Amino acid sequence: MSEEQEKDEQGAVPTIDYLRISITDRCNLRCIYCMPAEGVKSLSHQDILTYEELELFTRAAAEAGIRRVRITGGEPLVRKGSVDFIRMLSGIEPKLKISLTTNGLLLARYASELKEAGLSRVNISLDTLDPEVYRNITRIGDLSQALAGLDAAIEAGLEPVKINVVVLKGVNDDPLPFAELARERPVHVRFIEYMPYFDDPGKWYVPGEVIKARLAEAGKIEEVESPEGWGPATYFKLNGSAGTIGLISPVSCHFCPSCNRLRITADGRMRTCLFDSNAYPVKAEIRDGAGVERLREIIEGELERKRLEGGDNKPKASGLRAGDHMSRIGG
């Protein structure tokens, strides 16, 4: 265990070294827990940060101690030039690790290019292995495309390949099909408690411990170390499995004090937390001429604010700005 990890276990504020960049608010799905059926009004081209502006911000963030960058959306691969952007980020600092969260629908087309551009690993949002349920959750999605993306990610050598499953009560709360997938394939499935972002938490919420109990039906499970990449998941392995099963419990096991994340939204607002109501207007600073030094000062100031808050940003809708759907913030 590293010295930093030991400090974290003793209750100290962790090193904040992980940046999530939302490059677009647009998505090719309409998931029921993420946005309304009609979608959300897309930001205009002028409203979102250019790749050059995001590269400038990331360069400053790296100087402020950021070591891991995750590209998110909306669906990041729907934005033209996303592969080239990852190549831009890979050129900032050799030790900077670049990852991607995607719904997988376009991965079959881009996986090998992403690997070549410098992407190290990928998380695929995939809430079910049942085609009909997938269609119901996503409203417009085709499961076969997502599974083809999963295959392409493995074949391209992106590692680890993680699967994010948001568990919804009465919709996709049977974990056994994914347990079988992890038994057969080298994937890391994480079951994520539904967070009451806007809706009544009782509508879909299933505690992680309930999912763990259901997993035990598939066989003996034992706790194992997490695959590469920081995260709040607890991982388990079924006997003989090629992959692992993880549980992420933001509601039943509040892990904000251990969070090491900083976020920047597609429209250029920096957040210390998903539920941060004091987002810093980075876009205005950049378009007023801020360079790396000034941006580093801003980032370091926000990192200090996060440390001082000490994880007090618990999930609540009261601090959210009108129109701030998950698709706009980056999840």
Average pLDDT per consecutive 10 residues, the chain (331 residues; last block may be shorter): 40 79 96 85 94 98 97 97 98 95 98 97 98 98 98 97 97 97 96 76 87 90 82 88 94 79 95 85 98 98 87 48 55 58
Residues in the chain: 331
Phi, psi (deg, nearest 5) at residue 126 = -145, 105
Q: Is 252 in contact with 209 (CB distance < 8 Å)?
A: yes
> pLDDT tens-digit profile of 194-210?
987 555 557 899 999 99
Q: What is the per-residue pLDDT for 328?
A: 60
Q: What is the per-residue pLDDT for 14?
A: 73
Domain boundaries, the chain: 14-163+258-329
Crossing angle of helices 82-90 and 51-63, in 10° steps, is: 30
Tokens of 153: 């990610």
Q: Label residue 43 exposed, middle or buried (CB < 10 Å: 0-12, 13-18, 19+).
A: middle
> pLDDT tens-digit profile of 61-80?
999 999 999 999 999 999 99
**CATH code linked to domain 14-163+258-329:** 3.20.20.70
Q: What is the per-residue pLDDT for 8?
A: 44
Q: Is 271 in contact with 219 (CB distance < 8 Å)?
A: no
